[in-house]
Amino acid sequence: MNALANGVGDIVRFENVGMRYRLGAEVLHDVSFSLPAGSFHFLTGPSGAGKSSLMRLMYLAHRPSRGSISMFGRDVSTVPRTELAALRRRIGVVFQDFRLIDHLSALDNVALPLRVAGAKEGQIRNHVAELLKWVGLESQIDDKPTTLSGGEQQRVAIARAVIARPQILLADEPTGNVDDDIAIRLMYLLEELNKIGTTVVVATHNESLIERFKHPCFHVEDGLLSGPGVGVRNDRDPGGDQ
Amino acid sequence: MIGQVRDVPLSGDPASRYLPWTVGLLVFLATLAFAAGMFLASAGDTWRQDLSGTLTVQIPVSDKADRLEQVNAVAELLRTTPGVVFVRPIPDAEIAVLLEPWLGKQVLELELPMPDLIDVSVTRAADIDIAALSARLAQVAPGTVVDDHAIWLRRLTEFTLIAETISFAVMIVILISAVATVVFTTRTGLAIHSDVVEVLHLIGAQDSYVARQFQNHTLRLASAGAAVGFLLGAGIIWLAHVYGGKLSGGLLPELALGPGQWALLAALPVAAVLLVVLTVGITVKRVLGKMM
């Protein structure tokens, strides 16, 4: 069933999802929630609670061990493998450790999503240069990640995540390695993206950011998802929104 | 140039550093094995064509007085035999040339008792009863033997078939070794660059995009190695052609390949490179297929 077509309007929909790594213990239990298009959510919880695992499920790096996940109205378990790549292109990810490719320049790192999508080389350079200017890195366009500061690497990672105009942006601890000023600037950047229609999920420990930027917040603890955020439906958490 | 960016930094990998050498050596050996197989096949064909449709009649040593008379009588009888199209008594000088590899150039001066030989051509369709013909010829010249080369032809066919099979089997084993080497190199490359490969995968790269990164890298290295390996192999074959005849003393046919065979041989490094590149693609896709 196509959830978007049925008026649900959810970009992401989890139903009773469980997740384990290989044969290990389950790290997420009965997670059910949905994210409407254009929403902005925080995802909090202590280290090891399952935030990154939940993010991995959302950016299609891992299959759930049970339950079902729909992205953009499509049940990912039924999507042919060759079409998963196209779904991933609609998801922008800022990894916790940025995961920039060291031997490529800032420009080439940011260009990667366009290149894998088959964009013409002639169009890539101007587009990427424009975005790097937007994140304040116009003078570091040809620099390698190893020569950039943590904050600059982070902005390159964000530029790479948004260059292909994803429908949803998932940022895993994006402010973990930068000072508060840069973290706040980064949040404004993400809010700007949200204003132009991008659904945003930010996994963070940073309580001051959550206080300052008033967005719904999911909380993960011991593999259970809860919180007052819109669309949360956790069967094990009667306090969560249904 | 932005268009020439290689997302996966494969050029510095220790495993791929040896790839051109490995492919070069394997193509060199495969070239020699393939050439040997083709040479044996064509040599066998030449021998078979030379011998089939021919008979050799051997008249034992006799008194010089009777010798010419006996040879002429046998030749005459042969000419009247149905199916025989050509009869030629072989002159002593020609027999001496045949014996030269064993007895040296002074064979005639040794005045050795030599049998008379008659070269006979028969029509391919002729089904001559060799035993009956021998019996008739023996009445004219006792002890005369007719050799239709059947035993020699059978052994020759068996030998060339076995040798050809071994040559081509060696070539196949060499190509399998190349495939195994490339699978190992590719898997090592994937393991070394798993972080980059995972990033490409997660930002939406199709498996074929990642595979092309590895294939382009391998194509460059394998082409260089295969070209060198083939040129070395071709050089050895050319040397065998130039010096092989001299060394074999006329016992073996000329060690030469025809234009068609050279074309087939030249296709070998191309096929080897294509095989290697195809193997890389399949290996990468199989490994990535285990990811979501």
A189-210 per-position pLDDT tens digit: 899 989 999 999 999 988 888 9
Query: In Å, what is the CA distance from B39 to each residue of A219, B26, B262, B263, B269?
Result: 76, 20, 11, 14, 18
Interface with A, mutate which of B2, B10, B203 (most A CBs under 10 A): B203
| Chain B residues with CB-CB distance to A87 below 8 A | 204
Sheet holding B84-89, edge to edge: B84-89, B116-122, B54-59, B145-147
Residue B25: per-residue pLDDT:
94
Could you tell me the pLDDT band of residue B5, with boundaries at 50, 70 and 90?
A: low
CB-nearest partner of B203 from A62, A104, A113: A113
Cα B169 to Cα B107: distance, rounded to the nearest angstrom: 43
Q: DSSP label at A232?
A: B
Q: Around B130, how many Cα atoms within 13 Å sit in the side-chain half-sphere?
A: 13
CB-nearest partner of A112 from B7, B206, B207: B7
Question: Maximum distance among all alpha carbons in chain B?
Answer: 101
Both tokens assigned to B245: 């005849």
Q: Does the pLDDT at position B287 exceed 80?
A: yes
| Interface contact flag, A112 B195, Cβ < 8 Å | no
Could you tell me the pLDDT band of residue A242, with boundaries at 50, 70 and 90?
A: very low
Unique residue bearing structure tokens 């074999």: B248
What is the percent of chain A with per-residue pLDDT over 70, rounded to a whole number? 90
Per-residue pLDDT tens over the stretch B59-95: 887 766 677 888 888 999 999 988 888 999 998 888 8
Residue in chain A closest to B197 (alpha carbons) equals A101
Cα B214 to Cα B227: distance, rounded to the nearest angstrom: 20
Least confident range from A126-140, A213-227, B121-135, B136-150: namely B121-135
Asked whether the ipTM of the predicted complex exceeds the cut of 0.85, the reply is yes
Mapped onto helix, strand or coil, the DSSP state of residue B166 is helix
Q: Enumerate the β-bridge partners of residue B60.
A: none
Mapped onto helix, strand or coil, the DSSP state of residue B110 is coil
Q: Could you tell me how many CB contacts below 8 A there are between chain A and chain B?
A: 64
| Chain B residues with CB-CB distance to A117 below 8 A | 204
Residue A174: per-residue pLDDT:
85
For A144, counting Cβ atoms within 10 Å of its Cβ (0-12 exposed, 13-18 middle, 19+ buried), the class is middle
Residue A236: per-residue pLDDT:
39
Query: In Å, what is the CA distance from A234 to each residue of A37, A205, B218?
Result: 20, 22, 50
Q: Please state the φ and ψ torsions of residue A169, each to the nearest 5 degrees.
A: -115, 125
How many of the other CB atoms lie within 10 Å of CB of B181? 19
Query: Which spans in B80-206 are helix H?
Result: 92-103, 130-140, 150-192, 194-202
| Interface contact flag, A85 B196, Cβ < 8 Å | no
Per-residue pLDDT tens over the stretch A72-118: 999 999 999 889 999 999 999 999 889 999 999 999 999 999 999 99
Residue B11: per-residue pLDDT:
83
Q: Enumerate the β-bridge partners of residue B118.
A: B57, B89
Cα A7 to Cα A181: distance, rounded to the nearest angstrom: 40
Tell me how close the Cα of A165 comes to any Cα of chain B, in angstroms: 12
Q: What is the mean pLDDT of residues B2-22?
A: 79
Q: Does the pLDDT at position B245 exceed 70?
A: no
Residue in chain B closest to A162 (alpha carbons) equals B203
Residue in chain A closest to B1 (alpha carbons) equals A121
Q: What is the mean pLDDT of residues A132-138?
A: 88
Q: Does the pLDDT at position B3 exceed 80?
A: no
Residue B250: per-residue pLDDT:
57
Could you tell me the pLDDT band of residue B131, with boundaries at 50, 70 and 90?
A: confident
| Interface contact flag, B204 A89, Cβ < 8 Å | yes
What is the percent of chain B with per-residue pLDDT over 70, rounded to a whole number? 92
Q: Does the pLDDT at position B248 exceed 90?
A: no
Residue A102: per-residue pLDDT:
94
Mapped onto helix, strand or coil, the DSSP state of residue A124 is helix
The answer to whether residue A172 neighbours chain B at the CB level (below 8 Å) is no
| Interface contact flag, B200 A62, Cβ < 8 Å | no
Residue A233: per-residue pLDDT:
44
Q: Does the pLDDT at position B252 exceed 70?
A: no
| Interface contact flag, A108 B9, Cβ < 8 Å | no
Q: Does the pLDDT at position A8 exceed 70?
A: no
Residue A113: per-residue pLDDT:
95
Q: Does the pLDDT at position B104 exceed 80?
A: no
Interface of A with B in 84-103 (CB under 8 A): 84-89, 91, 93, 95, 99, 101, 103
Tell me how close the Cα of A56 comes to any Cα of chain B, in angstroms: 10
Could you tell me the pLDDT band of residue B195, with boundaries at 50, 70 and 90?
A: very high
Q: Does the pLDDT at position B192 exceed 90?
A: yes
> Minimal CA–CA distance to A135: which of A115, A117, A161?
A161
State the pairing for strand pair A26-36/A40-44. unpaired
Tell me how close the Cα of A66 comes to any Cα of chain B, in angstroms: 15
Residue B64: per-residue pLDDT:
64
Interface with B, mutate which of A53, A75, A88, A120 (most B CBs under 10 A): A88
Query: Which spans in chain B are helix H?
Result: 14-17, 19-51, 64-79, 92-103, 130-140, 150-192, 194-202, 207-248, 259-288
| Chain B residues with CB-CB distance to A85 below 8 A | 204-207
